[in-house]
Structure formats: C-alpha cells, structure tokens
Amino acid sequence: MGQTASSPFAEVRLLGPVELGRRDGSSATVGSGLERTLLAALAVNAGTVVSTDVLIDALWESGPPATARHALQVHVSSLRHRLGVSPSPLEARPSGYLIKLDPGQLDTERFESLAASGRAELASNQAVRAADVLEAALAVWRGPALADVSRSPVTETEVARLEEARRVTEEDRLDAELAAGRSDRAAVLAEGLAGAEPLRERRWGQLMLALYRCGRQADALHRFMLVRDQLRDELGVDPGPALQRLHRRVLTHDPELDLAGPSTSPGTPVDADMPVTRFTRRGGPALAYQVLGDGPIDLVFIPGFTGHLEIRWEDPTLSRLFRRLAASCRLVLFDKRGTGMSDREGGYPPLPEHVDDLLAVMDAVGSRRAALFGVVDGGAIALLTAVAHPDRVAGVATYATAPVLSAPDYPPGATRDQLATLQTLLSRLLDVDEVLPLWAPSRVGDAAFSRWFTRYMRMGAGVGGAAEIVRRLLDMDLRTALPEVAAPTLVLHRRGDRAISAGNASYLAEHIPNARLVLLPGEDTVLWAGDVDSIAAAIEAWLPSIVEGDG
C-alpha cells in the first residue's frame, strides 16, 4: 500500500482518544467528532463492510438529518484525505463502507499481540520477561477505549471486549510479578486494581497472596474480610470457592503459598505440565511449536481455522486428547502462520505456503517422516503436503475436512445458512454464542465454554485475521488433488455434524485412493466440544498400521 509524502498515517489508535499514529511515533488528531466516530465504527470492524444505515445511526444517534447520506459521503471523503494513503484503505461498497488495515495498523492488535506473548512467557515460566511484556501491552493504552467517541451499537461490543481484555491483562501482569518474586511491587499494584474494581475476586486473591508473601498475614486476612463484606452488601453472595480456599491457606500458613509461580494465584487455568513452546524460522516467519511423547512414530497435529498453541491447554478435553495421543507417538503441535504464537506479519497465507511451514516444523524437531492429523483446513494442508512431499508423509488423518467449502457443482458443500455462520462470527467479533448451535450444539448453554472459546478465537488471530482465514477457506478447492494422495488416509467425521456435512467425508474417502472412512457419533464440528476419546481411539488404532507400512 503506497503512502504519499504528506501523509503521516501508520496506525489507527482506538485505545484512548481516537487518533492516527505517525511512523515517527507521534499522533495526529482526527477532525470532528463525527469523523472520529466514523473512523472508530469502521476500524473496530476492519475488513468487514459496515452498512450505510448502521454508520448513519452511529454518527447521528439523536436522529439523522434529511441529508444524512450525502453528509456521510462528505465525511468519508474527508477521512480518506486525512488517511492520505493511495490506494485508500477506505473503500465504498454497494451496501456501505469498509476499511482495510494491514497487520500492525491497529493499536488494538498491538496490545493483544503483546498480551498474548506475555501470557506465553508466563506459561513457560519466564516470569520476569512476562511481567515486562505485559507491562508493555498495558502501556499501549492511553485511556478508555474510544474515549472521545459516543457509544453506539456498532462499537459498544468491541469496547466492552477491549476493556475486559485490559482488565485480564492487568491481572495477568500481577500473576507475573508474583511469579517473579516481586511481592512488594505486586502488593502496590493489586491494592490499586482491587480498589478500582472491588467486585473482581481474582484481584483480591492476588492482593492477599502478595501481602502474605510480604510477611503481612494480618493484612491479607483483613483484605478477605473487606471483600467478603462488600460482596455480601452489594451482591448478597459470599466469596467464591477459590478465594475462600486461599483464605484458609493464609490462615494456616500453608507453606506452598511461599512458592512463586503463576499457578498459585486463583483464577488462572494453566496446565502445569504443558510442554515448552519453542520457535523455528526458515526463510522468514517464526513458527511456534511444542513436542510431547516419545512413541515410535511422529504425529503432527495441524489445527483448523484459528487458535493459540498455549491457550489450547486451558481446555481440559483438548489437553486430555493431546496427552492420550502422546502416549502412543511423539506428538508435535504448532500454530499456523498468521495465528496464535506464530508470526502474524503478512497475514494468513494461501494453503500451499502452509505446506512449507509444516515441513519447517518437522525439520526443527528432527522428523524425517511423520503422520499428519489435520482438522478442518488443517486436513487440507495435510493432504496437500502428502501430494507435494510423499516422502515426508507416512499417513494422513483428517477431521471435519471439506475438499471445497461450497461450489455449485458440489452437493455436499455448505448451505447458505451454514456459510452465514462465518459472517455471523465475524460480525459478532468472534463471540461464538450465536454459532454454537451449529458448530458445537452439545455445548449450547455452557457459559464457561462459550467464554473460553470466544477468548481462544480472539487470541488466535483477531477479528481481521479470522476474516482473512474465512477468505482462504472460501477459495479452497482440493478436488483435483485428491486422486494424487498416495498416503494411507483416515477420514474422520461426526455423523451428525451440523456445520460441515459428513457428506464431505464420504467424498474424500471416495476420491482418495487409499482412504478409510470412520463416521463417529455426535453433531459437533468443534473437535473438542464432543467426545474426543472416540477420535483418539480411531487414531490409536490407525497408527500401528502406519508404523508397519513404513517399516
């Protein structure tokens, strides 16, 4: 994207007053309040068309003038001029407008990327580094999100999400300070945070722990009484089980409270035995991976859609699947480029480029030849790798994979309603509640799962990254490549899958020469939403045949 000499635009800043950042780090204010509102409404939905009617409602919430459509066009023209880039990232569409921002051109993405890196450092027991990175993430904020823009339906959901992400990051930073042994500093920070939002129990737990480690048991016990009384007075409830357990442990001088580490603070779901995350780089992007198990064959897990290598371990069902698989193989996990902890610069590449990334990870772990287990588009990557590099692939297992998502000459393809769920997910800023009935019907009504899955999706690629992945999915068509897959292939699918029809699995099995179809009970598309033990059992039964055939 070219930039004129007179244009300072480099970044849209939403974490505070809405402004444009210059390449030298300085900032430029955005004209009128209406223009700031327009930029905010487009930026929080970057890459997605915002309808003219929605924009008019956002700009003139008290009632639009008769000339609102013409006035909107004038403000769009002014904002284009202020952005100063050619071609303009602000584009007109028949139904409205959208702004296309490159990776790194939103301060919200910068904040979330730093926050994810800090959590990864913490999970890898690099507490001092984690505290520094999380502090840097919080420093991106200059005030409340969209501080000088009136709330409207088009921005309020994202503002609420960002503010909650900020709160969680503040608490994660406290965990890092505690794990680093900096209890005095943590106590001061926690006192301020607990006072600012006295109904967030996690902060009180962190404050109690910090005070206790500073040798101030009486003060720690007093803080428990304060929060207990406040919860009873304002909400009519007692502190939750985690805070009550911490109170008992402080009261009895539990020696384990003296051990620094992220798992000692209540409210942080971390798998204590999560494998160490490592990185490899071949010709550019850094790719994050983990290895566990030492079985007779390597199995590389290729995730579907988006995700985050370390956040996956927070889900007990998924972590159980990984540990069960690792009992019979050496399991390699990684984040695809453009997602999770792998490099996001350059976005989510076309599927053939993921093949090169997969081989780079295999080389990094010393795997000459491996079985590949791919989920959704991860299955497509596995099949393309088997075609392009048959000497590196001992076998392929796919789950919920379609050779093409939708095409006029492909009857098993997604219906209009099924495709609409992807747009619903994007319009809801990756809040999964509305898509669970199709993607994970067995988890409908499970509020904890919905919250975690939403966080997992958002940390995996962000809204803009997810939109790019959707575009890649819609462009995917493997049908001509399937007859060239020589590797033994296990095609797994849940029989009643509501989002990706099991007819896709039948098509794969019919067109891949050495394929075996296994239809499993259930209706969930999301791998770990349903019964993962049946999936593990199918792969465990298949792997020995791969080992024998490769021997």
What kind and span of H or E run contains 133?
helix 127-139
The rounded distance, in Å, linking the Cα atoms of 158 and 43 is: 10
Indicate whether this model's pTM tops 0.85: no
Q: What is the 3-state secondary structure (H, E, C) of 334-393?
A: ECCCCCCCCCCCCCCCCHHHHHHHHHHHHHHCCCCCEEEEEECHHHHHHHHHHHHCHHHE
Question: Does the pLDDT of residue 262 top 80, yes or no?
Answer: no
Pick the more confident residue, 548 or 55: 55
Spatial CA neighbour of 35 closest among 120, 148, 145: 148
Question: Does the pLDDT of residue 157 top 80, yes or no?
Answer: no
The rounded distance, in Å, linking the Cα atoms of 454 and 448 is: 10
Pick the more confident residue, 164 or 71: 71
The rounded distance, in Å, linking the Cα atoms of 444 and 235 is: 27
Spatial CA neighbour of 271 closest among 333, 305, 339, 317: 317
The rounded distance, in Å, linking the Cα atoms of 438 and 185 is: 47
The rounded distance, in Å, linking the Cα atoms of 385 and 396 is: 9
* C-beta separation of 348 from 468 below 8 A: yes
Q: What is the pLDDT of residue 551?
A: 58
Q: What is the pLDDT of residue 156?
A: 80
Q: What is the pLDDT of residue 85?
A: 77
The rounded distance, in Å, linking the Cα atoms of 117 and 66 is: 49
Give the Cβ contact number of residue 415 at 10 Å: 10
Confidence of residue 162 (pLDDT cuts 50, 70, 90): confident
Q: How many helices and strands (H and E) does the chain possess?
A: 18, 16
Question: Does the pLDDT of residue 546 top 90, yes or no?
Answer: no
* C-beta separation of 14 from 111 below 8 A: no
Backbone angles phi, psi at 268, to 5 degrees: -115, 105
Helical axes 201-213 vs 241-251, angle rounded to 10°: 10
Lowest mean pLDDT among 18-27, 167-176, 515-524: 18-27
Residue type, 282: R
Residue type, 244: Q
Question: Does the pLDDT of residue 330 top 90, yes or no?
Answer: yes
Q: What is the pLDDT of residue 264?
A: 36
Q: What is the pLDDT of residue 267?
A: 31
- Which CATH number is 107-264 given? 1.25.40.10
Q: Where exactly are the structural domains of the chain?
A: 2-99, 107-264, 278-550
Architecture of domain 2-99: Orthogonal Bundle (1.10)
Place of tokens 């109904």: 199
Spatial CA neighbour of 342 closest among 126, 103, 47: 103
Q: What is the pLDDT of residue 242?
A: 84
* C-beta separation of 166 from 193 below 8 A: no
Percentage of the chain surpassing pLDDT 90? 50
Give the Cβ contact number of residue 531 at 10 Å: 16
The rounded distance, in Å, linking the Cα atoms of 363 and 351 is: 19
Question: Does the pLDDT of residue 6 top 50, yes or no?
Answer: no
Q: What is the pLDDT of residue 139?
A: 94
Helix, strand, or coil (residue 166):
helix
Residue-wise pLDDT tens digits, 392-429: 999 999 999 999 999 999 999 998 888 888 888 888 88
Q: Quick one: average pLDDT of 46-65? A: 86
Residue type, 509: A
The rounded distance, in Å, linking the Cα atoms of 102 and 18 is: 18
Spatial CA neighbour of 358 closest among 309, 424, 300: 300
Q: 117 to each of 272, 308, 546, how far by Cα in Å?
A: 18, 11, 37
Q: Quick one: average pLDDT of 379-401? A: 97
Place of tokens 């007779």: 296
Lowest mean pLDDT among 359-363, 426-430, 477-481, 546-550: 546-550
Q: What is the pLDDT of residue 440?
A: 93
Spatial CA neighbour of 118 closest among 196, 160, 193, 170: 170
Confidence of residue 315 (pLDDT cuts 50, 70, 90): confident
The rounded distance, in Å, linking the Cα atoms of 170 and 167 is: 5
Q: What is the pLDDT of residue 123?
A: 66
Residue-wise pLDDT tens digits, 93-136: 888 998 888 777 888 888 877 887 787 787 667 889 889 999 99
Fold observed for domain 278-550: Rossmann fold (3.40.50)
Confidence of residue 534 (pLDDT cuts 50, 70, 90): confident
Question: Does the pLDDT of residue 327 top 90, yes or no?
Answer: no
Q: Quick one: average pLDDT of 500-514? A: 92
* Segment of 41-55, 280-294, 369-383 carrying the highest mean pLDDT: 369-383
* C-beta separation of 486 from 69 below 8 A: no
Q: What is the pLDDT of residue 44?
A: 85
The rounded distance, in Å, linking the Cα atoms of 464 and 12 is: 14
Q: What is the pLDDT of residue 299?
A: 97
Q: What is the pLDDT of residue 549?
A: 63
Confidence of residue 13 (pLDDT cuts 50, 70, 90): very high
Pick the more confident residue, 258 or 486: 486
Q: What is the pLDDT of residue 8?
A: 56
Q: What is the pLDDT of residue 124?
A: 67
SS3 content of the chain, % helix, strand, coil (to 5): 50, 15, 35
- Rounded mean pLDDT of the chain? 88
Q: What is the pLDDT of residue 3?
A: 41
